[in-house]
Amino acid sequence: MKRNLYVSAAASVVLLAGGTAVAAAATGADTARTAPASAVARVDVDAGGAAAAALKHFPGVVESLDQDGAIWHVNVIGKDGVTNSELEVSTTGAVTERNKDRDDNAAENARLVGAKITAAAAMKAALAAHPGTVVSVDWDDDDENGAAPHWNIEVKAADGKTSNYDVSATDGKVTVSSDDGDDDGSDNDNN
């Protein structure tokens, strides 16, 4: 009887704090074992969570990520600059390795591996300057038009408009991407 009282009291405290899923689990081990799978709360992984899950599975640096429905596609280059892995991260954070191979040209990935600003830091910088939700991240070190290595971050704003931002790989400065087809040129707050 005392056990039930303590469990009920703990469940009440958790419910008051807004944790209904935790309270359901706290009501007893027997109840938790018989709960239907549909009772498990769905966790939606954002771009940052997808990058973190991918790096936990395959340590290195994120080269790119984008969302395709409920799946994040993440490409990770190993810290050695030679190995890479194509990973899929589900909305629950489960990681599936789709492809893993070696590229004998480590020099090609040297700037990415040595970049001062990581994909995660670039996402944070872009969202600090332009709030919304990150929908894709791409490393760009082409010397096209003399551009320095940078991250291209696609952000979807609360109004549904999607815009592209470049984040410097050396200092984290955020600018409106010149190849942004959705930008009408009115956003001139180059942070």
In this predicted structure, the answer to whether residue 71 has a pLDDT above a threshold of 90 is yes
In this predicted structure, the answer to whether residue 87 has a pLDDT above a threshold of 50 is yes
Q: Encode burial over 66-91: b for 16+ CB neighbours within 10 A, e otherwise.
A: bbeeeebbbbbbbeebbbbbbbbbeb
**What's the pTM value of the predicted model, to 2 decimals?**
0.69
| Ramachandran angles phi, psi of 87, nearest 5° | -120, 155
DSSP annotation of 73: E
Q: Are the C-beta atoms of 109 and 129 separated by less than 8 Å?
A: no
Digit-coded pLDDT (tens) for 11-69? 333 333 444 333 343 444 443 344 444 444 455 899 999 999 999 999 999 999 999 99
Question: Helix, strand or coil for residue 133?
Answer: strand
The domain segmentation of the chain, as residue ranges, is 2-39, 47-176
Digit-coded pLDDT (tens) for 118-171? 999 999 999 999 999 999 999 998 766 667 899 999 999 999 999 999 999 999
**Tokens representing 105?**
């040209």
**Tokens representing 115?**
């970049």
